[in-house]
A and B are shown apart, each in its own frame.
Chain A
Amino acid sequence: MMVSRSGRAEAPPDTPPATGARRRPDPLRLAAGVLVLILLAAGASTDRFLTLDNARAILASTAFVGITAIGATLVMIAGSAVSLAVSQTATVVAMIFLATQPLGLGTSLLLALLCGVTVTAVQGAVIGYWAANPIVLTIAAGFATGGVATWISDGTTVSAEVPRYDVLNSTPLGLPLAVYVLLAVTALAQWTLRRTTAGRQMYLVGENRAAAHAAGLPVGRVTVVAWAFFGACIGLTGVFLASFNTGANSALGGTLTLDAIAAVLAGGTAIAGGRGSALRTLGGALLISIISDVLLLRGYSTGIQILVKGLLVLAVVLTVHLRSVRGRR
């Protein structure tokens, strides 16, 4: 039903967008299809790719970055783009986790996660209530957090004298525990986004913050919820990193910040907010792991792996952009 718009004299009618555009194939689906085909071909022709051990390795390598990336998805959907303080936050969480091991696993876990949630949610509050620029704010927060990490560790490696974290390194049914946590976090995030008021409001705030503000939606609170969830995810990653490495120095976080962003973007979530999903991010994280794995098995250097990762993210971001531009016509 396209109402013909006669329009009043002084307002030239804005042309209703053509509905025909939606019948053309969706470039994102098309690109995903092509990519899966290429991967299947490459995988089938690569020695040792189609083995159970390799599948396990892929899942295991997805888990750490994946958990953080799921949290980053909520923040990106809610319109606060990205955090550049992820590695540093994970490092501090890892150090607190290891340092509090004598208190028992439960207590140390709780303290570590609480730290991740608090540090990140505070940044979210500044962004949500006072409309701070997330890039600038998290660069500053990243330096501050990194500084604290170096300060408490005094530049050395923190480790636990009586480790209680062995259970985190266990591999029930042959898969690392982190993989199960990743799946659980993904499911929780997906449910939050789709089925809860807060999740729905994240999409709305992310798409049009001014409209959400004028409608009286709780922009600040929604932003804080997204960032708090993100903080919990970063905390989980930090705890797993600490257990896996049995120690934490100020470089523990490594490239986690950018890896997580890459996974979210590769999943096709829009950096400008308002669109995306946790399942997509899981797909993006898996995709990056699979491609790295194929390249690794085929004997390409780490440099090539990183380069390909960059190209992949670029390709997906371009596709998403083209799609949204076309959608607006």
Chain B
Amino acid sequence: MALLQIENLTVQFETATGWFKAVDGVSMSVEKGEVLAIVGESGSGKSVAMLAVMGLLPWTAKITADKLLFEGRDMQGISAAERRKLIGKDIAMIFQEPVASLNPCFTVGFQIEEVLRVHLGLDKKARRARAIELFNQVGLPNPEERMHSFPHQMSGGQCQRVMIAIAIACNPKLLIADEPTTALDVTIQKQILDLIMSLQMKTGMGLIMITHDMGVVAETADRVVVQYKGRKMEEADVLSLFENPKSNYTKALLAALPENATGDRLTTVSAFFDGNPEPAPEARA
């Protein structure tokens, strides 16, 4: 049984000109211990699809799916209270802006202990010990002192380490990382990616890596889903995707990488791809 199974997921938002499909009939699944990368440009619906799974979209969004199963359990029908028990414990998420996703009014120690209190019901002493252990695990220097720091007193890379510590606090079965390194420097990006990958290897959790960076895909993924304008363009294991891309859109994306430049101009996407998502380009409202 797949850890997360999504079939024919559609997310729509109402606009002045009618319903806009942000995600349009996407299916995918993640196994235990697998790293799935979802790659796409802005507006391809890669984040929205995962937010729909987490139930983090505003009520104005219309979500429909044939199947939305986490460990065989239907995520569509469950109550808000049940969902709260699941989110943050079995499914955890890391966001793009580490400084913005932490609460500026509380110390990072308070914020990680909150997770441990709500989900695991640990007492004060155990919480503190576990929090320090987690900070150690994600490679924060001086964890005891760091417990009393506020987010603004730490760098972006350190805040992202705190976010990761919070995310893995309850040993989640599935970790969703939404552009975890986009706001960080290259050297810090490397450290954070290495950290996430080693944690994934150690715990055997499923990992969904949402990114727009082909380099990050190449360094992390087992399997890749390529999205464009809310549709899935291609799904393949990472090696075949880079070696032998099937869809024109993937070919175009790979050709647009500056390191693949031949001659003195880059190949632009339009050279391969007419801008229409391939399967049934029906009229968009």
Do A and B belong to a common assembly?
Answer: no
Residues of B within 8 A of A (CB): none
| Chain A residues within 8 Å of B, Cβ to Cβ | none
